[in-house]
Structure 1
Amino acid sequence: MKNSRKQRYFMSVLMICIMTITSCKVTSQEPASKEIVIGKNLKWSDKMALTLMKRHPQAYMLDDAKKPKWDYVHALVLHSIEELYKKNPDSRYKAYVRGYVDELVQEDGSIKTYEFDKYNIDLVVPGRLLFDIYSETKQDKYLKALQQIRKQLQEQPRTASGGFWHKQIYPNQMWLDGLYMGEPFYTQYTVTFENGKNLDDIAKQFELIQMHATDPKTGLLYHGWDESKQMPWANKETGNSPNFWSRALGWYVMALVDVLDYFPKDHPKQKELVKYLNNASEALAKYQDKSSGLWYQVTDKAGGKDNYLEASGSAMFSYAFAKGANKGYLPSKYKKLANKAFDGLTKVLIKKVDEDGGITLTNCCQVAGLGGTPYRDGSYEYYVNERKKDNDPKATGPFILAALELNR
Structure 2
Amino acid sequence: MLERGKLVRQLDRLVEGMVALRHDGAFHEPNLDGTPGDYISFDGWEWPQGVGLYGLVRYWEFTGADHHRALVEAWYERQLARKLPSANVNTTAPMLALSILWARTRDERWRGPLDDWAALVMKDLPRTEEQGFQHIVSDSINPGELWDDTLFMVVLFLANYGRTAGRPELVEEAVRQFLLHVHYLTDTDTGLWFHGWTFEGRHNFARARWARGNAWVTAGLLDFIELGGIEGGVKDFLLGCLRSQARALLLYQHESGGWHTLIDDPTSYLETSATAGFGYGLLKGARLGVLGEDAREAGLKALDFVLKNIDDRGTVQNVSYGTRMGHDLQFYRDIPIQPTGYGQALAILLLAEAVRHTGEIQLEAAQ
Same fold (TM over 0.5): yes
For 2:18 and 2:85, the matched residues in 1 are separated by 24
In structure 2, distance between residues paired with 1:404 and 1:189: 23
* C-alpha distance after superposition, 1:310-330 (max 9, x if no partner): 011111101111122222332
Per-residue Cα deviation, 1:13-53 (whole angstroms, up to 9, x for no partner) = xxxxxxxxxxxxxxxxxxxxxxxxxx978533222113334
Corresponding residue SS for 2:122: helix
* Cα separation, partners in 2 of 1:205 and 1:241, compared to 1, 3 Å: farther
How far the C-alpha of 1:394 sits from its partner, in A, is 2.0
Tell me what 2:181 maps to.
Answer: 209
- Report the equivalent of 1:193: 165
1:183 aligns with 2:149: no
Structure 2 residue 364 is the aligned partner of structure 1 residue 364: no
1:81 to 47, 53, 56: 56
Q: Return the alpha-carbon distance in structure 1 between the equivalents of residues 271 and 206 of structure 2.
A: 20
Flag the 1:386–1:42 CA change in 2: closer, same or farther, 3 A: same
Q: Distance in 2 between matches of 1:191 and 1:334?
A: 29
Q: Per the alignment, do residues 152 and 345 of structure 1 end up closer, same or farther by CA in structure 2, a change over 3 Å counting?
A: same
The alignment status of 1:69 with 2:44, answered yes or no, reads yes
Pair 74,171 (structure 1): closer, same or farther in 2 beyond 3 Å: same
Distance 1:248 1:265 in 2: 22
**Aligned residue for 1:254?**
219
Tell me the alpha carbon deviations over residues 264-314 of structure 1, each in whole angstroms, 9 at most, x when there is no partner: 46433111111111122222221111x201100111111x2xx11101111
Q: Is the 8 A contact 2:127 2:133 kept in 1?
A: yes
Please, which of 250, 256, 261 is the counterpart of residue 297 of structure 1? Answer: 261
- Which of these residues, 49, 55, 59, is aligned with residue 15 of structure 2? 49
Aligned partner (choices 152, 160, 174) of residue 146 of structure 2? 174
- Note closer, same or farther for the CA distance 1:162–1:320 as it changes in structure 2 (3 Å cut): same
Alignment correspondent of 1:160:
129
Aligned residue identity for 2:237: E
Corresponding residue number in structure 2 for 1:309? 270
Residues 387-398 of structure 1 aligned to structure 2 (within 5 Å): 387-389=336-338, 391-398=339-346
Query: 2:348: which partner in 1?
Result: 400
From 190, 207, 212, give the equivalent of 1:242.
207
Distance 1:149 1:135 in 2: 16
CA-based RMSD of the aligned residues comes to 2.5
Q: CA deviation at 1:241?
A: 3.5
> Is contact 1:318-1:338 (8 Å) kept?
yes
Paired letter, 1:249: N
2:34 maps to what in 1? none
Alpha-carbon displacement from aligned partner over 1:79-135 (angstroms, at most 9, x marks no partner): 2122222232333222211111000124xxxx623213xxx2112221122234434
CA contact (8 A) 1:159 1:173 kept: yes
Distance 1:80 1:251 in 2: 13
Query: What secondary structure does 1:360 align onto?
Result: coil
The worse-fitting range, judged by mean Cα deviation, of 392-401 and 161-170 is: 161-170
Verify the 8 A CA contact 1:105 1:141 in the aligned structure 2: no
Aligned to 1:385: 334
Q: Which amino acid in 1 is paired with 2:335?
A: E
User: 1:212: Cα distance to partner?
Assistant: 2.0
**How far is the alpha carbon of 1:405 from its aligned partner?**
0.6
For residues 301 and 79 of structure 1, the distance between their equivalents in structure 2, rounded to whole angstroms, comes to 30
2:353 partner amino acid: E
**Preserved contact between residue 321 and residue 335 of structure 1 (Cα < 8 Å):** yes
CA 1:265–1:40 in structure 2 vs 1: closer, same or farther (change >3 Å)?
A: closer
Structure with greater Cα Rg? 1
Distance 2:178 2:256 in 1: 31
* CA distance in structure 2 between the partners assigned to 1:176 and 1:338 by the alignment: 22
Contact 2:151 2:216 in 1 (8 A): yes
Q: Are 1:146 and 2:114 counterparts? A: yes
Of the three residues 171, 178, 194, the one matched with 1:222 is 194
SS at match of 2:146: strand
How far apart are the structure 2 equivalents of 1:206 and 1:240? 20
Q: Deviations 1:173-219 (Å, cap 9, x if unpaired)?
A: 11010111111101012112235344343222222222222223222
Among candidates 114, 138, 148, match of residue 85 of structure 2: 114
Q: 1: distance between equivalents of 2:346 and 2:131?
A: 29
Contact conserved, 1:215 with 1:221, CA < 8 A, in 2?
Answer: yes
Distance 2:337 2:101 in 1: 34
TM-score (norm 2): 0.83
Q: Is the 8 A contact 2:205 2:328 kept in 1?
A: no
Relative to structure 1, the CA distance from residue 369 to residue 204 in structure 2 (aligned partners, 3 Å threshold; closer, same or farther) is same
Instruction: Compute the TM-score of the two structures, normalised by the length of structure 1.
Output: 0.75
Q: Write the distance in 2 (CA, Å) between the matches of 1:87 and 1:137.
A: 15
Instruction: Work out whether residues 49 and 81 of structure 1, in 8 Å CA contact, stay in contact via their aligned partners in 2.
Output: yes
Letter in 1 for 2:324: G
Which of the pair has the greater relative contact order for Cα pairs under 8 Å at 6+ separation?
Answer: 2
CA distance in 1, matches of 2:274, 2:252: 12
Looking at structure 1, the residues matched to 12 and 214 of structure 2 have their Cα atoms a distance apart, in angstroms, of: 26
Aligned partners of 1:228 and 1:239 also within 8 Å: no
Matching of residue 131 in structure 1 with residue 99 in structure 2:
yes
Confirm or deny that 1:104 pairs with 2:79.
yes
Structure 1: unaligned runs, 5 residues or longer: 1-38, 57-61, 230-235, 371-376
Task: Give 1:262 deviation, angstroms.
Answer: 3.0
CA change 1:267–1:41 in 2 (3 A) is closer
